Amino acid sequence: MLCDVNMPGESGIELVRHVRPRMPETSVVMVTSVDNSAVAVEALEQGAYGYVLKPFARGELLIQVENAMRRRTLELFHRRTQEALRERVRVQTAKVLESREELALRLASACAARTDETRDPWHEDEGTAYMRERRGTWFDPELLDLFLENIALMRAIRLGNPD
């Protein structure tokens, strides 16, 4: 969109301020006779991609429009890339959390099976006490919590189903 700073009604800068949030795909280049650096800075801060003074050479306007289009294309690519990356991180995080839960369950099952083999619950209690002491240094606190919850579940199952 080509827009002048001085327009009937509202200024072109106000128009840019209203258009950019509603139509973020729109590239705006200000074309004006207002030779004021503060106005130019304000226009750029509001979302204009260029500021061309009248009278201008045809080539100057074409360069500004092409630069605005190129910048907009890069911004859209960047946005799509960020969205794709966010989705990939979300999916991978879900997989990691699922793997952690599975690991905690398998560790708890292995500890419960080992205790069943030895018939000595002291070993199980000693092992969980050892892990609690090293919480946050050797063992990830969240993973340790999952493990301990699963150990408690295994104990409850074992108590409910004695051999």
Digit-coded pLDDT (tens) for 130-141:
666 666 666 677
Examine the domain organization and report whether 103 and 43 are in the same domain: no
Q: How many domains does the chain have?
A: 2
Q: What are the beta bridge partners of residue 152? A: none
> What is the span of the domain harbouring residue 15?
2-85
Examine the domain organization and report whether 152 and 123 are in the same domain: yes
Report the distance separating Cα 85 and Cα 5, nearest Å: 38
Residue 51's pLDDT is what?
A: 93
Examine the domain organization and report whether 20 and 80 are in the same domain: yes
Does 90 map to a domain? no
Q: Render pLDDT for 98-137 as a digit per residue (tens, 0 to 9).
A: 777 777 667 766 666 655 555 555 455 666 666 666 666 6
Contacts of 74-77 with CB under 8 Å at 24 or more apart are: 76/25
Does 29 map to a domain? yes
Per-residue DSSP letter, 25:
T
Report the distance separating Cα 154 and Cα 150, nearest Å: 6
pTM: 0.55
Q: What are the beta bridge partners of residue 27? A: none
Neighbours of 78 (CB within 10 A): 10
Please, what's the b/e burial string for 82-115 (b: 16 or more CB within 10 A of its CB; e: otherwise)?
eeeeeeeeeeeeeeeeeeebeebbebbeebbeeb
Residue 25's pLDDT is what?
A: 84
